[in-house]
């Protein structure tokens, strides 16, 4: 597990978890990206506006830049409890979700 620390333009700081083979995990749900270059935020914390299969839109659901008001954690709890309408990807069971979160050390 590799940690990338992002120092944002507005003086915040957060971490992204990268797999040992170089792919970034979604900081909300732990899903592994399928593109090595992909990051949810750039080096200054500006969002990609991509939407993960967990439904989280970087730059929208975090109101701009994380860790804005615990947006990742709050969203993650809703996702775990199936309170998110999911339009992308395969629906996962709670066990699969919990297992996936191990990717980001949760
Ligand atoms: Zn996600």
From the CA of 25, how far away is ligand 1's center (Å)? 8
Distance in Å, CA 9 to ligand 1 centroid: 23
Q: Does residue 24 sit in helix, strand or coil?
A: strand
Q: List the domain range (segments joined by +) for residue 56.
A: 1-106
Q: How many CA atoms lie within 13 A of 52 on its CB side?
A: 28
* pLDDT for residue 91: 83
Q: In angstroms, what is the span from residue 22 Cα to ligand 1's centroid?
A: 17
Centroid of ligand 1 to alpha carbon of 10 (angstroms): 24
Summarised one tens digit per residue, pLDDT across range 32-81 is 999 999 999 999 999 999 999 999 999 999 988 787 889 999 999 999 99
56 CA distance to ligand 1 centroid (A)?
Answer: 6
The number of distinct structural domains making up the chain is 1
pLDDT tens profile 4-36:
999 999 898 999 999 999 999 999 999 999 999
Please check whether residue 12 is in contact with residue 71, taking contact to mean a CB–CB distance below 8 angstroms.
no
If pLDDT is split at 50, 70 and 90, which confidence band does 87 have?
A: low
- CA atoms of 35 and 71, how far apart (whole Å): 24
Q: For residue 6, report the distance from its CA to the centre of ligand 1, in Å.
A: 18
CA–CA distance, 58 with 101 (Å, rounded to integer): 18
The CA distance from 38 to 47, in Å, is 11
Is 20 exposed, middle or buried, given 0-12, 13-18 or 19+ CB atoms closer than 10 A? exposed
Q: In angstroms, what is the span from residue 11 Cα to ligand 1's centroid?
A: 24
């Amino acid at each position: 597990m590799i940690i990338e620390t992002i120092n944002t333009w507005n003086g915040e700081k957060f971490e992204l978890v990268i797999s040992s083979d170089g792919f970034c995990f979604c900081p909300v749900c732990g899903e592994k990206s399928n593109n090595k270059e992909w990051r949810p935020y750039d080096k200054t914390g500006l969002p990609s506006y991509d939407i993960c299969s967990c439904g989280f839109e970087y730059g929208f659901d975090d109101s701009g830049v994380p860790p804005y008001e615990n947006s990742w954690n709050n969203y993650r709890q809703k996702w775990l409890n199936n309170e998110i309408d999911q339009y992308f990807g395969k629906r996962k069971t709670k066990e699969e979700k919990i297992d996936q979160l191990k990717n980001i050390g949760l």
